[in-house]
Structures are given as C-alpha cells and as structure tokens.
Chain A
C-alpha cells in the first residue's frame, strides 16, 4: 500500500500533517533543531509574543507533578520587535508552517501585536492566547468571559490579514459558551486546551512550590480532560479544531483526531523527548497503513458513541 495522505485542512491553512508543536514548549523553533528536524512538522506554534518584551515570573517557575508539570513562566518572551528581527528570519528559512501565538494585557495590546504581524511573510496564522489577565478588568482572564473573548477575537481580526485561531482556556464553567462566542466573533479556528490552573505545596516550608503561587498544569495528567473538552467543542461549533493536552504518543493524537480535532499540538512531551512530535507523525502513518486507511482525514471525527 502507498503511504497514506497525512495532510489536513484547517480552514484556509494546508498542513502537510496534523501534528504541530504547542506554544511555549518549542521556543522559537531553533532550540531542538540539532536533535530533530522541525521542517518535518505539520507546523510550529511559537512562544507567545507580546507587544513589549516580558521578563516573566520569579523562580521557581516549574515543578513536576504526577504525570505532569506546573509552570508559571509568566509569558516571558522577547517582544514583537525582537521576534521579527531575531527569531522569525531563521523560521522563515524552514519549509514549515509557522503560527505565531500572541497575547496582550488589554484589547489595544492584542490589536497592536496583530497589527505588527500584518502582512509579515512566513507567518501563516495567528493563535490568540486568551488565558491572560485583563489589566483593565481587575486581572480577570479574557478567556473566562464570553463577551470579553469575543471582543479580543474581533479586535485581532480587525487588525490582521491572517487566519485567526483562538486558544481556549479550560478554566471555565462551560467551554462551549466561550467556543460559541469566538465562533460568532469570526474566529477561523479554535485550539484547546491551554493549561489547567493548579498548585502544589512544600509541606516543610509551608509555601507553594511555585513563586507565583499557582501555575498551569500540563502533561499526560490533563489528557482526558482535554479530550473531553475537545469533544464538547467539536459538537458545538463548525470551526476547525486543534486538540491540545498531554499528547505524548501517536495513540494519544489519534484519540483527539477520532474525537473530531482536525489537528493536534504536542507540548510538554517535547521537553521529555525532543523527537516526540516526529514519532507521533510516523506513528499516525503506521496506524493508518495497518488499518488500510488512505488519508488521515478519513478518521477525523469518527467517534461512534
């Protein structure tokens, strides 16, 4: 049998395969390049970019938890200007789809980052992180309020000529409400889930193990939660969906595809195994061949119950 077709369609975006690396887990694409070929990926979602450079939170920033890790990096990044001059040129040389994750602390900031990336060659799409605190609204995360999530989406859409993917926070009562709001606002695709808020305590010192107090849980521990939320969103909206959360091997990615995700992002697994994403791509290919399936598109959304 010929090799199966791994390409997928995310609205206007053509991906050569459905496996991308998740924002914040793959740096700016270059960090792992000496041990794996990032050009083979379906796409790279680069670390979240803000208008100005952000130094991030004080350490300790990460702590391991059962089957996962908590992070409170604080969205440290080089800022839009340095990203464009120092990080993007290297990415543009790769034959890989680059999606830029963006965030802001106000609607204006979201708009300004999107505007700064308008027309920039080598940026295929924007992924909007709406899990950030809104400084104008007492620090409540944009992504926890449907109206605010819609306004961020609209603002970014107004400032960009690129497809807009909105990345949803799982720290909400009903993720379907947020998904509907961003669909109505005009988003081209949805990715989910971002990290789940959590904490862990040092019982000797009686302090949180993270200087920030709480952090975002990622890794295999969150996968069933992520899968369920992806299923809920797939059944709620007509938009393409990218599944994220604890994916570390091909079978995990296949679960998300069967649940209805059109593509997946691999995050924490990159830290453990820099080649994880590539192993997942070849594992999906092997699964399709073993099951005599000609295209990965044929298994998307085929959950029977």
Chain B
C-alpha cells in the first residue's frame, strides 16, 4: 500500500459518461493485482470530503489505469482532470482475484463499469480459451477495448435495449456459453450491479461452477480502519460481517449472504 501524489497522464471520454484515466506510479504498478482498487482524493477541499474507490483496470508501463462512470459529485470532478494534474492516490488495496488453474476455463461476466477489474484480470491471465461477456444498458455505454488501447480483447456484448450485440442480459450470454461448454471445468469471475451479481451467482451455484465476485461499496478509509463497508457472510461462515476493502473486494460468492445483500 502506497500513498502518493501522482501525475495524471490522460483522462479521456471513452463512452457515454465513461472516462478512462491513467496516472503515473511505478511503485503501485509494480504491486497491483487484478481485483485490487485505489482510493483517490478528487479534491483537497472538504467537499467532497472522502476519497473515492476505483477498481484498477490495468497497467501500462509505469501508468496505472482506471475506468469510471460519472455518477455523482466525486466522479464529475475527476472527469475534469487534465494531463499533468496531480492527484493523491492510496493503493493498491484489498484482495484481488484468485487465478484459475490451467485446466479451468475462465469466464468473465461484466455489467457496466464492472468491466474494469475484469479487463485487468483478462489481460493478466492472457488465456486464449477465456470467455469475456459484457452487458450494458444501451450501446452508447459500451466501452470498446480499442478505445482503451487494448488489442486482442473482444468481449461478447449484450445490451438491454438491443442496440448492440445480444438483445437482453449478459446472463443470457453466460447461459449460452455454459450450455456449449458442458464438459469443461470453468470458473466465473464477475463484477457489476447487484441484481446482475445475484443472477450470475444463481447460475454458477446451479451448475456448481466456482464464482468470484468483485463487490462495490461506499468506503471511508479503504484499509479496514473504519469498518464502514461491511457485507454479511453466509450463516455457515458464522454470519458475521466481512469488509469489502480488506476481506474483498473479491469474494468467493458462496461466502456471502445473498439474502441480505
């Protein structure tokens, strides 16, 4: 974990309300793992007061990459940053994805901005047999990998309004991948809105496929000190709370209590 003032290298719009930012930090790049996140201080004033958590989307040389959608005051301020601006970053934080064995086929299932940590995972695994499924609401939100300077990554797209790719949900794509790959041991890696995570987890559970979920949460500190980002564990795992920042953000889906999420 490093806390540093870092230089923004680029910050560009890549889809509707969606921005791709790179900031220079060799020490963070050297230790960043897929699934980990950073806490960014978008402004040094007291409004907004708290840092904002962002999944690491990848690394490029000494530049650490994030992908974010403007959803509120913090991300709106972030979207106005220019190359050369300095920003304070704390990271990398949290526990990332556990990598699948060589004989296990990885299936990434992303919803909206949930694509960010899965891009980093996918590029790190660099597996030819992997499936990458990405769901969005409308085509304007679709993040094209070439906009991120990524080659060799072409997710299967689903949009809810049918304006691009499969007309429907990303879980439809998942069902279809799984029905075509019955005999191959697989592992699912997913990140996105809660209803989507619940649906993915149900499918994985039904087919006894291991599933790792990356969760999003409001956070104050990002390091386990405030205990603000609690998430309930399943009754058979003592029913106590885990903390997204420290015990996650990536969890084995079956550790969590999905009834109270």
* Residues in chain A within 8 A of chain B (CB atoms): 24-27, 31-32, 34-36, 55-64, 66-69, 71, 73, 76, 219-221, 248, 268, 270-275
Judge whether A59 and B226 touch: CB under 8 Å: no
Q: Give chain B nearest CB distance to A172 CB in angstroms.
A: 25
Q: Nearest A residue to B233 by beta-carbon distance?
A: A55
| Cβ 8 A contact of B240, one of A55, A57, A275 | A55
B217 CB-CB contact with A under 8 Å: yes
| Cβ 8 A contact of A62, one of B2, B51, B220 | B220
Residues from chain A with Cβ under 8 Å of B80 in the complex: none
Q: How many A-B residue pairs have CB under 8 A?
A: 95
Known: A35-B2, A64-B49, A219-B46. A271 touches B220 (CB 8 A): yes
Interface residues of B in 44-74 (CB under 8 A from A): 46-51
Q: Give chain B nearest CB distance to A102 CB in angstroms.
A: 17
Residues from chain B with Cβ under 8 Å of A71 in the complex: 220, 226, 228
Interface residues of B in 85-138 (CB under 8 A from A): 88, 90
B41 CB-CB contact with A under 8 Å: yes
Q: Which of A34, A64, A220, A273 has the most CB of B within 10 A?
A: A64
Tell me what chain B mostly uses at the interface: helix, strand, loop, or mixed.
loop
| Cβ 8 A contact of B41, one of A64, A268, A270, A272 | A272
Judge whether A58 and B226 touch: CB under 8 Å: no
Q: Could you tell me the distance between the alpha carbons of A68 and B223 in the complex, rounded to whole angstroms? A: 19
Q: Could you tell me the distance between the alpha carbons of A34 and B226 in the complex, rounded to whole angstroms? A: 17
Judge whether A61 and B227 touch: CB under 8 Å: yes
Judge whether B49 and A268 touch: CB under 8 Å: yes
Q: Which of under 10, 10 to 19, 20 to 34, or 35 or more describes the interface residues of B?
A: 20 to 34
Judge whether B224 and A27 touch: CB under 8 Å: yes
Known: A32-B223, A270-B221. A59 touches B3 (CB 8 A): no
Q: Could you tell me the distance between the alpha carbons of A248 and B230 in the complex, rounded to whole angstroms? A: 25
Residues from chain A with Cβ under 8 Å of B226 in the complex: 24-25, 62, 71, 73, 271
Residues from chain B with Cβ under 8 Å of A62 in the complex: 218-220, 226, 228-229
Q: Give chain B nearest CB distance to A8 CB in angstroms.
A: 25
Q: Could you tell me the distance between the alpha carbons of A261 and B231 in the complex, rounded to whole angstroms? A: 38
Q: Give chain B nearest CB distance to A267 CB in angstroms.
A: 10
B241 CB-CB contact with A under 8 Å: yes
| Cβ 8 A contact of A73, one of B3, B41, B218, B227 | B227
Judge whether A31 and B221 touch: CB under 8 Å: yes
Q: Give chain B nearest CB distance to A160 CB in angstroms.
A: 26
Judge whether B51 and A271 touch: CB under 8 Å: yes
Judge whether B231 and A56 touch: CB under 8 Å: no
B260 CB-CB contact with A under 8 Å: yes
Known: A69-B49, A271-B221. A61 touches B228 (CB 8 A): yes
